[in-house]
Chains A and B, each alone.
Chain A
């Protein structure tokens, strides 16, 4: 039996409200309002509440950076736009039911970036999965510090199932996008052209949404930012503990962070009223905090979580003049391919060369025979090498990056400094042992970087002029 869409929505809202009501009742039973008032009266909000809010807002700034990074291959967003997109999602979740904020966020991302809606929604989903994995990690850390708390294991088991499955789906889409597309296409082909087109298009947008994680280095960068996001949010939970006279224990803050944020995945009212309070309170009572204090803490944490972001989100809506319906409609609009114009297709602008990391630049400098003042040639070569390494097939690229991580780790162990901060002569001597040494594996690890560095360096105008000064002279004469 298929329910009408309107009825489905109404049911969803009703379930959410009922869930909020149930969790609120459970949280409040056995507690008196008098106890709560007493705890609040003795709470010291200054400076802890502003600190908590600042930490939470800083987390959103980092979320913006992460979102920007995840779409950076397809769209150029400013940091503030990306942050506003993230904040909008949170604000809408706070005022509308059924996590509509996720759709709003994807809609605004699609609108601002020009990406297809499903692609944007996948980016949002990906952020959620990353968040879930970091939260599980936070719980593992909390569990190690608080081994006696049984709640950690229960939450880990439940969260592990949900995010384990989601993470597996993401990994398949990241690691084997072409295979996934082929699978989707071949399995939907017998269902008719219309279904096939739709399935393939959706699969393409989903794999596009997670494509940024395709390179191990980029995936690590995103994971690092995710960890930072939740470190800031844990900062909010940590800062509020002393407000109620509790010891500022990072383990307890991580426990509250993990349990609360995984708990609010349960459908509830806008702003997660009820589940937020219940799970936050449960986390604290599990480590021996009194019920009234724990609930007061949860109420304050919720206010820090709710008010600033909702206000910021409303400002975003005003500033960008958004109406959600329009945004979604624009994002879903299809662009037909005009094959009639195919003959005239001009060369597209080549993608900008990859910007080399400081490490790669230092490595290229160590590999090429640059003389004093030839920095520009080294930079040019490093840019080419970065692009060439980025073009390696995924499997070899991963192996190469792993090998280079090993090289960097050994460098740090050997010299107690990062490779890039070593003096040039020492870098050259060290790299020579790898790139030209007796160990075949080490030579092979360095072969791509060595070859492309030397090729590109010796083709730089400055170096060609050094090698063939008579040609430069001829050109000057010719020009004269």
Chain B
């Protein structure tokens, strides 16, 4: 095993890690980013979904969450993390969520006003804005239905200025329009001197007497074998994402409130068949979300490819696949709930890179998913859908609003549900309420002088919206606080409320 050193090591290069690296590099700190996945060029992006999943996704997109209802979890494993494969949808943390976090977790410096400069910075950095052109058909029919229902909705701003609608967000944007971290924040961090090591998995954070002293990192050897190296560091920011951060900390012996409070947004998908040709496989995903029932419920549209459609239809039963012939008339939508169940993340005793993720969908989650399905189906049918096929095994396609309305009062059978999620968080919550949190309000782990979390795992609980904006804003707030405490070159225009 060889040995190397850096002043600050950032583990992970997603929304949290990239922002951390950028602000550290900007302050002149010697920073090393260690990323488990690989660096890819634009030429690598936009490949077929199976190839993209192999290159860019953790476990080829097959990360299971076990529990009462098994849930498929998808996250990125490449330079830039999940920001390379998400939709780029952008939300600020809702005011009421921030208030709840401040009250329940005693989270300091988390008011809407305190976070405003950080959200503004991130939005400028990523060019967050509206689509700016005529909506694609899959959005129009959805909006039509929502309007008929009389609900409020919004076009969600995206971090994708100049998006050409290639429908390849989930495969890595081949045009470079979507501002994944590798194109934007990390590129700037590297320009300012941050070093980035890819293809390197952190096996353990070395901790002793309340201090992190370094890391053990596994690197691919020249013949495909693994080589271990030790990286010494003065400070360590763990930004490996909501599942890998707690797993790494736990197996390093850092366990206080680590990995015991995982929250997710469970999603139930539906395929909707219309009379019109939507050609959803040729356009950007549906751009509007219903926020009428937020934060408990969000209705929106999902990525659409022939493979995604086939997979979704098959979750309803074998017969669903016959609808593949109507590919051009179909689109995929979802109901997402805030998630009130509880979950945990632990390093697996078994296996080489195993992380055991468990989440028990609560009865409340099932209730909201049922209500959400009813409302989503009503809106889609009102918008002209001929049938709505949910990912609920054996549930007949919903063809009339009265059929859909049944689920406003009844709960879907949990054993028949097929759920997915792309949003996980809260596995190392921050705040001053030590009985509930793993780290202080700015991400420093309790009992440690120099070990921090700064990614989705720090969010105290479900934000109820796409979390990239929240992660970036909180990450920047935290790293500026770190620089402040450390006395490093803080820029005068940055005023921390």
Contact B208 A189 (CB under 8 A): yes
A353 contacts across to B, CB distance below 8 A: 54
Residues of A272-322 at the interface with B, using a CB-CB cut-off of 8 Å, are none
B226 within 8 A of A: yes
B314 within 8 A of A: yes
Contact B203 A459 (CB under 8 A): no
Bound Cα distance A423, B117 (Å): 65
Task: Give the interface residue-count category, chain B.
Answer: 35 or more
B190 within 8 A of A: yes
Contact B197 A468 (CB under 8 A): no
Given A387-B54, A464-B306, A186:B253 Cβ within 8 A: yes
Given A178-B353, A458-B307, A392:B196 Cβ within 8 A: no
A185 contacts across to B, CB distance below 8 A: 203-204, 206, 216
Contact of B50 among A214, A347, A456 (CB under 8 A): A456
The stretch of B217-225, B335-343, B426-434 in contact with A is B217-225
Given A342-B32, A432-B318, A467-B306, A395:B351 Cβ within 8 A: yes
Contact A436 B318 (CB under 8 A): yes
Residues of B338-362 at the interface with A, using a CB-CB cut-off of 8 Å, are 347-356
A422 within 8 A of B: no
Given A348-B38, A348-B220, A467-B327, A197:B49 Cβ within 8 A: no
A334 contacts across to B, CB distance below 8 A: 2
Contact of A392 among B44, B55, B62, B251 (CB under 8 A): B62
Interface string of A177-216 (1 = CB under 8 A from B): 1110110011001100100111011001001100100100
Measured CB to CB, the closest approach of chain A to B198, in angstroms, equals 5
A48 within 8 A of B: no
B230 within 8 A of A: yes
Which of B2, B224, B328 has its CB near the most chain A CB atoms (within 10 A)? Answer: B224
Return the chain A residue nearest B61 by Cβ.
A388
A41 within 8 A of B: no
B111 within 8 A of A: no
Bound Cα distance A74, B220 (Å): 10
Bound Cα distance A443, B70 (Å): 12
Residues of B153-205 at the interface with A, using a CB-CB cut-off of 8 Å, are 190, 195-199, 203-204
A157 within 8 A of B: no
Contact of A114 among B4, B6, B222, B253 (CB under 8 A): B222
Contacts between chains A and B (CB distance < 8 A), count: 224
A3 contacts across to B, CB distance below 8 A: none
B190 contacts across to A, CB distance below 8 A: 343
B59 within 8 A of A: yes
B1 contacts across to A, CB distance below 8 A: 197-198, 200-201, 204
Given A345-B39, A350-B55, A394-B350, A436:B307 Cβ within 8 A: no
Given A200-B230, A468-B327, A394:B6 Cβ within 8 A: no
Bound Cα distance A369, B309 (Å): 14
Contact of B2 among A211, A336, A397 (CB under 8 A): A336
Contact A436 B317 (CB under 8 A): yes
Given A185-B206, A339-B32, A391-B62, A456:B307 Cβ within 8 A: yes
Measured CB to CB, the closest approach of chain B to A135, in angstroms, equals 28
Q: State the majority secondary structure of interface residues on B.
A: mixed
Bound Cα distance A351, B354 (Å): 19
Bound Cα distance A458, B323 (Å): 13
A463 within 8 A of B: yes
A397 contacts across to B, CB distance below 8 A: 351
Given A181-B203, A392-B64, A395-B351, A114:B308 Cβ within 8 A: no
Contact A181 B216 (CB under 8 A): yes
Bound Cα distance A397, B63 (Å): 12
Contact A395 B39 (CB under 8 A): no
Measured CB to CB, the closest approach of chain A to B94, in angstroms, equals 33
A461 contacts across to B, CB distance below 8 A: 48
Bound Cα distance A141, B80 (Å): 57
A339 contacts across to B, CB distance below 8 A: 4, 6, 32, 195, 197, 231
A443 contacts across to B, CB distance below 8 A: 393
Contact A335 B352 (CB under 8 A): no
Interface string of B52-76 (1 = CB under 8 A from A): 0111000111111010001010000
Contact B228 A204 (CB under 8 A): yes
B227 within 8 A of A: yes
B321 within 8 A of A: yes
Which of A175, A204, A337, A450 has its CB near the most chain B CB atoms (within 10 A)? Answer: A337
Bound Cα distance A346, B40 (Å): 8
A440 contacts across to B, CB distance below 8 A: 415
Measured CB to CB, the closest approach of chain A to B244, in angstroms, equals 12
Bound Cα distance A296, B190 (Å): 76
Measured CB to CB, the closest approach of chain B to A470, in angstroms, equals 9
Contact A178 B229 (CB under 8 A): no
Measured CB to CB, the closest approach of chain B to A18, in angstroms, equals 40
Measured CB to CB, the closest approach of chain B to A251, in angstroms, equals 38
Contact B356 A393 (CB under 8 A): yes
Contact A394 B352 (CB under 8 A): yes
A451 within 8 A of B: yes
A346 contacts across to B, CB distance below 8 A: 39
Given A394-B351, A463-B306, A347:B203 Cβ within 8 A: no
Interface string of A421-447 (1 = CB under 8 A from B): 000000000001001100010011001
Task: Give the interface residue-count category, chain A.
Answer: 35 or more
Contact B32 A459 (CB under 8 A): no
Measured CB to CB, the closest approach of chain B to A372, in angstroms, equals 17
B49 contacts across to A, CB distance below 8 A: 455-456, 459
B349 contacts across to A, CB distance below 8 A: 175-176, 179
Measured CB to CB, the closest approach of chain A to B351, in angstroms, equals 3
Given A182-B252, A190-B208, A393-B348, A455:B308 Cβ within 8 A: yes
Contact B354 A347 (CB under 8 A): no
Given A345-B197, A444-B70, A178:B351 Cβ within 8 A: yes
Interface string of B136-154 (1 = CB under 8 A from A): 0000000000000000000
Bound Cα distance A201, B229 (Å): 8
Given A343-B195, A384-B50, A468-B327, A73:B224 Cβ within 8 A: yes
Contact B223 A74 (CB under 8 A): yes
Interface string of A109-147 (1 = CB under 8 A from B): 000011110010000000000000000000000000000
A100 within 8 A of B: no
A155 within 8 A of B: no
Bound Cα distance A459, B309 (Å): 10
B311 within 8 A of A: yes
B281 within 8 A of A: yes
Bound Cα distance A196, B2 (Å): 11
Bound Cα distance A369, B314 (Å): 12
Contact A337 B2 (CB under 8 A): yes
Given A178-B251, A214-B352, A343-B190, A448:B62 Cβ within 8 A: yes
Contact B352 A211 (CB under 8 A): yes
B95 within 8 A of A: no
Bound Cα distance A75, B222 (Å): 10
Interface string of B287-325 (1 = CB under 8 A from A): 000000000000000000111111100110110010011
Contact B218 A391 (CB under 8 A): no
Can you show 5 pairs from A to B with CB atoms below 8 A apart? A339-B231, A384-B53, A436-B318, A464-B306, A467-B324
* A interface residues (Cβ-Cβ under 8 A, vs B): 73-75, 113-116, 119, 175-179, 181-182, 185-186, 189-190, 193, 196-198, 200-201, 204, 207-208, 211, 214, 334-337, 339-340, 342-343, 345-348, 350-351, 353, 369, 380-381, 384, 387-389, 391-398, 432, 435-436, 440, 443-444, 447-448, 450-452, 454-461, 463-464, 467-468
* B interface residues (Cβ-Cβ under 8 A, vs A): 1-4, 6, 32, 38-41, 44, 48-50, 53-55, 59-64, 66, 70, 72, 190, 195-199, 203-204, 206, 208, 216, 218-231, 251-253, 281, 305-311, 314-315, 317-318, 321, 324-325, 327-328, 347-356, 393, 415, 418
9 additional A-B pairs beyond A115-B225, A436-B318, A458-B306, beta carbons within 8 Å, are: A115-B223, A175-B350, A176-B351, A182-B252, A193-B230, A204-B228, A458-B307, A459-B50, A468-B327
- 7 nearest CB pairs, A to B: A394-B351, A201-B1, A455-B307, A74-B225, A458-B306, A114-B223, A391-B59
